[in-house]
Structure 1
């Protein structure tokens, strides 16, 4: 990984769209994350609550993420407003270099800036999934399951 000054998140633009669409995980991880085109489409139809970003290291695209901002999360018949990370895709050849940690810390910083106290994420449990990654970053399970995924939260206080 390059120095943190070269790491940054960029909004998706016509100029970097092709790079964003080219970010792919390892084949054994495809069960746990949709191709980038799907979260980009979701961001397009939900521009008020989606925050898509390309993870850049210098001039190289090394990952993609989409955060969700202040969505109405239905829980036990009621609802609560939540924000967090919807998708994180680190390119297969770039994994294990600290880019995922940088991405999560960057989203946490943005959520804090917006006054958010809880950073939510969902993950597929099991081998080759992101559960250990999330737990090692301090997320804890909430006991909820959403669409077959474990819901986790990181306190931002």
Structure 2
């Protein structure tokens, strides 16, 4: 497994990547993520997940972004912004690999915590993130549970 930058050569494949139908309400499509990455410049870290030559996923981190500027302008965080694993590639460790790569990138930049949020519902990603060691903070952001992992 490896991560690659999004390039003119692989962007069409990235845009075609889709999660299972029952997960579409849980994560934005790759096209939305790439638009947000463009808008946020160096604070976004989008990468494609490959197994050999096969594209199996997309992951994007947020790096040192203000969490809630209206509440505390000095509260800046890094974490997992998006994780899309192709419908036919789920359950094979690609998501765990991608989250580990985000943690490695944040650690390399001096970060000590990684944040993530999820929609609390049956069939949602909470068990996956808890298994990786994320713990809820007690915060809710846009209806999503906020969790943190200490590095």
Query: Cα offset for 1:23?
Result: 1.2
Q: Distance in 2 between matches of 1:30 and 1:127?
A: 14
Is 1:99 aligned to 2:94, yes or no? Answer: yes
Is 1:132 aligned to 2:127, yes or no? Answer: yes
- What residue ranges of structure 1 are gaps of 5+ in the alignment? 1-6
Name the SS of the counterpart of 1:47 in structure 2: helix
Query: Cα offset for 1:13?
Result: 0.5
Residue 22 of structure 2 aligns with which residue? 28
Is 1:87 aligned to 2:82, yes or no? Answer: yes
Residue 51 of structure 2 aligns with which residue? 57
Q: Distance in 1 between matches of 2:90 and 2:144?
A: 22
Per-residue CA shift, 1:97-120, capped at 9, x if unaligned?
A: 000000001111111101100100
Q: Distance in 2 between matches of 1:84 and 1:150?
A: 14
Q: Distance in 2 between matches of 1:21 and 1:155?
A: 32
Q: How does 1:104-115 map to 2 (within 5 A)?
A: 104-115=99-110
Per-residue CA shift, 1:110-135, capped at 9, x if unaligned?
A: 11101100100011111121111000
- What residue ranges of structure 2 are gaps of 5+ in the alignment? none
TM-score under structure 1 normalisation? 0.93
Is 1:14 aligned to 2:8, yes or no? Answer: yes
Query: Cα offset for 1:59?
Result: 0.5
Is 1:67 aligned to 2:61, yes or no? Answer: yes
Runs of 4+ in structure 1 off by over 3 angstroms are: none
What is the aligned-residue RMSD (CA, Å)?
A: 1.1
Residue 117 of structure 1 aligns with which residue? 112
